[in-house]
Amino acid sequence: MVKYKELEGKNIVLGVTGGIAAFKAADIISRLKKQGASVKAVMTKNALNFIHPLTLETLSGNPVYHDTFEHRANAWEIDHISLAKWADVMLIAPATANIISKVRCGIADDLLSTVIMATIKDVLFAPAMNTNMLYNPIVQENISYLSQKGYGFISSKSGMLACGDFGDGKLADVDDIVGHLARHFENREGMNGINVMVTAGPTREYLDPVRFISNPSSGKMGYAIAKECADRGAKVDLITGPTNIEPPENVNIYKVNTAKEMYERALELYPNCDIVFKSAAVGDYGVERVEENKIKKSDETLELVLVRNPDILKELGRQKRKQILVGFAAETENIEQNALKKLKDKNLDFIFVNDIKRAGAGFEGDTNAGILFTKEGDKMEFAIQEKSGLAGSIVDVVLKQI
Ligand code: C5P
């Protein structure tokens, strides 16, 4: 048996739903117990038709929950809240199309769906169902929606299904499920003790108190990186220009407007940083003279003199001691050459470059694509994908260097 230290002492709520693979819940519990985890099982009404709760109760050494209104000895505890808090992670295995689709809609009409709604911990689904059900566009859309919202999925495998069909939809092997959970915790805790600084969003270069020059950066890529690092246990300082999106939880937010403000804050926080992700779209030029009062229109043309803003990243590169610097470049031409030049000029360890003319890789969308270069000359290409998924891949590559 492979021993995963990450599972030792973890509390796992196992949701069991009504598919033929429900009997495998017994094996999952027994393996998790052997890894040193504690398991509490919650069964749906349909799951009770496939496996007796006594089996899961005996293997887990804990009561099995299935009724929201069951009267327990410790009646002052509300099961769905105490389970939601007790869990370090929730694993739904097997997960039917029904539970996946209910969660997507926010339905909480039995104990399991209510615990899933009530928890702020990660929830991983291991789907098991007939191939046609799995590939039903509604189910696929629900899986994709939940993935975007941060729910995890342990892919089913191909094989002979209970209905006699051959195809995808078989519950992942129990070994794979246990390994996936271990990797989940490894990722979640892999950045404990690491200080990360992320810059995100646009800057504003003011002409007068109400007008400014800016760009359409949404901040989504930087926020996704900040969230990814915080979820993995890092201490994250997020310096953000003005955005319209919710900042991630568990990060220190520093709001700035101008490139100069971002420069000052970045330099102040820099000495304590281990890794910097410089994803902000910083204005290269600011207005030489910012008018104190609103500029009045006249019949004359208005001439503005723009002066260079400090290159924050270049300065960080100059002052670099122990830090790992990750730059971002949005390019429209000579993508690779420009990125490599910046990597060298700014003394970076990595640069992620995207071609903003390419559909799905722009400033404002939810997706991105691009190339990550290392200072050693390695090159990794990333296809169009959700910014959240891409953030995970970029962080994975950077962590290998520590
Ligand atoms: O030179 P360019 O602006 O294309 O470089 C992009 C990278 O440099 C990004 O990581 C961006 O956050 C950073 N940058 C900066 N200060 C500037 C301009 C860009 O830190 N004034």
What local confidence, expressed as pLDDT, does residue 87 receive? Answer: 95
What local confidence, expressed as pLDDT, does residue 75 receive? Answer: 52
Q: How far is the CA of 310 from the centre of ligand 1 (A)?
A: 10
Taking 90 as the threshold, does the pLDDT of residue 280 lie above it? yes
Q: Could you give all domains of the chain from N- to C-terminal order, each with its CATH number?
A: 5-186 (3.40.50.1950), 195-399 (3.40.50.10300)
Nearest residue to 335 (alpha-carbon basis) of 372, 281, 386: 372
Nearest residue to 100 (alpha-carbon basis) of 69, 128, 66: 128
What local confidence, expressed as pLDDT, does residue 234 receive? Answer: 96
Residues 177 and 126 sit within 8 Å (Cβ to Cβ) = yes
Q: Which atom of ligand 1 is nearest to the CA of 315?
A: 20
What local confidence, expressed as pLDDT, does residue 281 receive? Answer: 97
What local confidence, expressed as pLDDT, does residue 149 receive? Answer: 84
Residues at CB less than 6 angstroms from ligand 1: 199, 259, 278, 280, 282, 284, 309, 311-313, 327-329, 342
pLDDT cut 70: percent of the chain above it: 97
Taking 90 as the threshold, does the pLDDT of residue 161 lie above it? no
- DSSP line for 345-365: HTT-SEEEEEETTSTTSSSSS
Residue 62 to residues 41, 71, 76, 177, 297: CA-CA distances in angstroms?
8, 16, 18, 21, 75
What local confidence, expressed as pLDDT, does residue 68 receive? Answer: 64
Q: How far is the CA of 224 from the centre of ligand 1 (A)?
A: 18
Most ligand 1 atoms within 8 A of CB, residue of 282, 318, 352 to mutate: 282
Whether a cis peptide bond, with omega within 30° of 0, leads into 94 is yes
Task: Identify the residue with better confidence: 82 or 317.
Answer: 317
Most ligand 1 atoms within 8 A of CB, residue of 313, 333, 338 to mutate: 313
Task: Identify the residue with better confidence: 79 or 330.
Answer: 330
What local confidence, expressed as pLDDT, does residue 386 receive? Answer: 81
Residue pointed to by tokens 């092997």: 173
State pTM to two decimals. Answer: 0.69
Alpha-carbon span 129 to 334, nearest angstrom: 48
What local confidence, expressed as pLDDT, does residue 193 receive? Answer: 94
- Residue nearest ligand 1's atom 2 by CA: 329
Strands 275-278 and 195-200: parallel
Alpha-carbon span 182 to 197, nearest angstrom: 27
Nearest residue to 241 (alpha-carbon basis) of 200, 211, 278, 279: 200
Residue pointed to by tokens 């996946």: 100
- Residue nearest ligand 1's atom 8 by CA: 313
Residue 332 to residues 239, 246, 263, 336, 391: CA-CA distances in angstroms?
26, 29, 25, 10, 22
By annotation, the residues acting in catalysis are 163
Q: Kindly state the tokens that stand for 224.
A: 């996704």
Q: Which atom of ligand 1 is nearest to the CA of 346?
A: 8
Q: How far is the CA of 105 from the centre of ligand 1 (A)?
A: 41
Q: Tens digits of per-residue pLDDT, 163-174?
A: 788 889 999 999
Q: How far is the CA of 346 from the centre of ligand 1 (A)?
A: 9
Most ligand 1 atoms within 8 A of CB, residue of 258, 269, 278 to mutate: 278
- Residue nearest ligand 1's atom 17 by CA: 311
Model confidence band, residue 40 (pLDDT cutoffs 50, 70, 90):
very high
Averaged pLDDT of the chain: 93
- Residue nearest ligand 1's atom 4 by CA: 329
Q: How far is the CA of 167 from the centre of ligand 1 (A)?
A: 49
- Residue nearest ligand 1's atom 6 by CA: 329
Taking 70 as the threshold, does the pLDDT of residue 76 lie above it? no
Model confidence band, residue 71 (pLDDT cutoffs 50, 70, 90):
low
Q: How far is the CA of 50 from the centre of ligand 1 (A)?
A: 58
